């Protein structure tokens, strides 16, 4: 198994942690949002250059343009995981500056949920795709899964961040890059339309009861829950950074309603995906076996050289009738 390209990209992504820690030590960095934005762009350029240099010096042989895109995305995924870990107190003083002048809306339950999602689920997809690229294997299925997931999560993040209480800022523009790259991959390489799932409020009795009794997180002013994204939505509904009044109420009815609806929305699409892949695989195996079994064998024709042979040739195996001249 070839691993060189994957190792180079992993090396580039791991550099994100010491770089973030160094930036956090810069005096007054929290008061310079434009500088944070420029540093973010420089980091993306670095994530691109490392695999490009590896290719230039012939350390790797990858020709797939996704190789460079995966390097940028894995770099961001490690940063996102670090943000989530710092949100929950597992690490300290690595991304603190980013919560102040970068993307302050990430200091929330949704911020933790979406960053865990990117740092774990999407990162795993990147590794699978990179291994497939290294070994000239097909990565279409995992690419489609990843494409729909990240496009959906970024729509939620960008819209929710812009219209929420924190508003838009310079560093939010970095997410434009992370939106363009998946769209490009999805359209040009994977040929998959975006998978947008939105949850919009209304004033019906059923909706008001749902919001008030079962899912108060939909009323959180940060705006992410109104656009949703199932995994971060569930995570944020339970997270300590979400205000208590917006978390899942501690009642049996609320829990039953919440988990029934949200697990259905989370699991059923995955089951449909598994069923789709399984039926395609089964159909492919059936088609390949059918081609070999059903191929007719051609036997060379022989010219009869006697009248008896001609008569024998008229013997019908279906009705077992014997010609009269053979009686």
144-180 pLDDT, tens digit per residue, is: 888 888 988 888 888 888 888 887 788 888 888 888 8
137's CB contacts (< 8 A; 6+ apart) are: 131
Look at residue 191 and tell me whether its pLDDT is greater than 80.
no
What is the distance between the alpha carbons of residues 54 and 63, in angstroms, rounded to a whole number?
Answer: 12
d(CA 135, CA 237): 41
Round to the nearest angstrom and report the end-to-end CA distance of the chain: 72
Question: What percent of the chain clears pLDDT 70, i.e. is strictly above it?
Answer: 75
Question: Whole-prediction pTM value?
Answer: 0.64
pLDDT the model gives residue 27: 92
List CB contacts of 167: < 8 A, sequence separation 6 or more.
Answer: none
pLDDT for 259 beyond 50 = yes
- How do the domains of the chain map onto residue ranges? 4-283
- Structure tokens, 191: 């040929």
Q: In three state form, how does the secondary structure of 68-118 look?
A: HHHHHHHHHHHHHHHHHHHHCCCCCCCCHHHHHHCCHHHCCHHHHHHHHHH
Residue 209: predicted pLDDT = 63
CA 97 to chain CA mean position, Å = 28
Helical axes 174-184 vs 33-56, angle rounded to 10°: 40
For residue 196, pLDDT over 50 is answered with no
Q: How far apart are CA 23 and CA 35, in angstroms?
A: 10
CA 114 – CA 242 distance, rounded (Å): 14
Cα gap 111→249, rounded to integer Å: 21
Residue 29 has which token pair?
A: 């960095």
User: Binning pLDDT at 50, 70 and 90, where does residue 202 land?
Assistant: low
pLDDT band at residue 194, thresholds of 50, 70 and 90? very low
Per-residue model confidence (pLDDT) at position 306: 46
Structure tokens at 171: 């560093």
Say which range, 23-37, 56-70, 254-268, 287-301, has the weakest mean pLDDT. 287-301
Each residue's pLDDT tens digit, 40-89: 999 999 999 999 999 999 888 877 888 899 999 999 999 999 999 999 99
- Tell me how far apart the alpha carbons of residues 66 and 6 are, in angstroms, rounded to a whole number: 12
Q: Count CA atoms closer than 13 A to 226's CA, side-chain side.
A: 15
Interval 210-240: pLDDT, tens: 666 666 766 666 656 655 767 787 888 888 8
Write out the two tokens for 168.
């838009």
How far is residue 38's CA from residue 206's CA, in Å, rounded to a whole number? 47
State mean pLDDT over 200-207. Answer: 52
């Amino acid at each position: 198994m070839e691993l060189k390209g994957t190792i180079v990209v992993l090396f580039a992504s791991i550099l994100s942690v010491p770089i973030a820690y160094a930036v956090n030590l810069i005096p007054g960095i929290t008061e310079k949002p434009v500088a944070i934005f420029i540093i973010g762009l420089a980091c993306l350029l670095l994530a691109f250059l490392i695999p490009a240099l590896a290719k230039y010096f012939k350390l790797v042989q990858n020709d797939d343009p996704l190789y460079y895109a995966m390097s940028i995305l894995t770099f961001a995924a490690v940063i996102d995981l670090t943000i989530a870990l710092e949100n929950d107190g597992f690490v300290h003083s690595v991304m603190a500056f980013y919560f102040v002048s970068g993307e302050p809306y990430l200091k929330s339950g949704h911020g933790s949920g979406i960053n865990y999602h990117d740092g774990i689920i999407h990162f795993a997809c990147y590794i699978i795709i990179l291994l497939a690229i290294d070994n000239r294997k097909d990565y279409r299925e995992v690419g489609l899964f990843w494409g729909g997931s990240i496009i959906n999560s970024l729509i939620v993040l960008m819209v929710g961040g812009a219209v929420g209480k924190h508003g838009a800022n310079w560093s939010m523009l970095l997410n434009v890059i992370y939106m363009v790259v998946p769209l490009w991959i999805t359209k040009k390489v994977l040929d998959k339309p975006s998978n947008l799932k939105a949850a919009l409020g209304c004033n019906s009795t059923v909706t008001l009861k749902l919001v008030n009794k079962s899912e108060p997180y939909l009323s959180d002013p940060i705006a992410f829950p109104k656009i949703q994204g199932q995994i971060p939505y569930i995570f944020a509904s339970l997270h300590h950074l979400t205000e208590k009044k917006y978390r899942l109420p501690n009642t049996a009815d609320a829990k039953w309603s919440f988990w029934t609806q949200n697990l259905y929305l989370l699991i059923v699409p995955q089951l449909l995906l598994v069923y789709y892949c399984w039926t395609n695989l089964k159909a492919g195996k059936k088609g390949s076996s059918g081609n070999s079994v059903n191929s007719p064998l051609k036997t060379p024709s022989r010219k009869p050289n006697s009248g008896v042979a001609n008569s024998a040739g008229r013997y019908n195996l279906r009705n077992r009738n014997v010609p009269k001249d053979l009686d």
